[in-house]
Homo-oligomer: A and B are copies of this chain.
Amino acid sequence: MIIVMKQGAGKEELKKVTQRIVELGYHPHVIHGETRNVIGAVGDERGKTVLQSLETLPGVESVVPILKPYKLASSEVSRVRTVVDVGRGVKVGGKKLVVMAGPCAVENEEQIVMTARAVKEAGATVLRGGAFKPRTSPYSFQGLEEDGLKLLDTAREETGLAIVTEVVNPKDAELVGRYADILQVGARNVQNFALLKVLGQLGKPVLLKRGMSTTIQEFLMSAEYILSEGNRQVILCERGIRTFETATRNTLDISAVPVLKEQTHLPVIVDPSHATGHASLVPSMSYAAVAAGCDGLIVEVHPDPEKAASDGPQSLRPDDFMRMMTKLKEFAKVAEREL
């Protein structure tokens, strides 16, 4: 950590800061500059936000962290890329791209089984579908809950696809874990630390979505919560961030893919459906995500989008999804991946 002193701060103030650095267990290292002094505090600062409080001492202008605050998620700590083994032959983070597809919400058996068959035929290996739905409005459809999980199970039996579905309440984690192959943490829960801890203890693969205003560093800190409880099976998902632009539902931060690939060993997938909010934009954003180097996609597909209980406008019809997958295979090949 670097402590920047104010211009004109005196010797006494400098001394108090260096003393406090020593008290906190770090080694102070003063650099006398032309217009002000700075102090390097040498020691492992990760997770030690207490150093930040030096900012309140007289003569201190600011405290600048140098190290990234995460450890287990860091590509510096583990240089081997993590491959998450989901079961049913699906591995996320290897040479093969993983496409997860299905409706926003599980509505009934016909809908989910029909969609499962269609997305499998197109090349998806994981079925998505919400049973517990975090909806902005209390008056919107909240999901079929355990009945929805059972329908997902039926679709899995019919098709052999693995299942990813969301969990919103820590108390439901075990229940959802009995049905799901991957437990999804939604964007709104990315800093629901109570939920992250429970999922860290559960030990099943977790799909962690980036929040609408989560920095990449905070995103990796949320992953760190799961990892630090002993669960290394974490898949990161970029799904668009909130910006001033309203032409799309969110702004897909596609540069997050290579940035995450530099900073962490965890696999990274992309959700072009929630990012854009419009079905017509999903294929081009899927191609872009694969070209940028992601490990997979999670895409909304619904047999009848205009009657969907939620997120109709961003759902692809099965035939559009099929066409997109055909083109995607070509892009994957150039990206030296398989699909």
Contacts and interface: CB of A to CB of B under 8 A. Distances in A.
Interface stretch (A118-126, A175-183, A201-209, A217-225): A217-225
Interface stretch (A32-40, A81-89, A91-99): A32-40
B259 A247 contact: yes
Nearest to A77: B7
B47 A137 contact: yes
Contacts of A243: 241, 243-244, 251, 253
18 contacts: A8-B76, A33-B40, A33-B43, A49-B137, A53-B306, A55-B278, A138-B228, A169-B170, A188-B192, A212-B213, A215-B244, A215-B247, A243-B244, A243-B251, A248-B255, A255-B275, A255-B276, A291-B331
Contact of A193 (B168, B255, B308): B168
A306 B43 CA distance: 19
A66 B66 contact: no
Contact of A2 (B2, B189, B216, B218): B2
Contacts of A221: 136-138
A174 interface: no
A303 interface: no
A255 B242 contact: no
Interface in A90-140: 134-140
A292 interface: yes
B135 A193 contact: yes
Contacts of A289: 288
Contact of A194 (B169, B256, B327, B331): B169
Copies in the complex: 4
A245 interface: yes
Contact of A251 (B138, B139, B251, B327): B251
A236 interface: no
B56 A306 contact: yes
A335 B66 contact: no
A171 interface: yes
Given A31-B29, A255-B275, A310-B49, A213 B242 contact: yes
A170 to B, nearest CB: 6
A42 interface: yes
Interface in A271-329: 275-276, 278-281, 284-285, 287-293, 305-310, 312-313, 315, 327
A169 B292 CA distance: 37
Nearest to A31: B40
Contacts of A305: 53, 56
Contacts of A7: 76
Given A245-B253, A281-B259, A292-B285, A38 B53 contact: no
A33 to B, nearest CB: 5
A155 interface: no
A138 B225 contact: yes
A339 interface: no
Contacts of A290: 291
A157 interface: no
A144 interface: no
Nearest to A259: B247
Contacts of A78: none
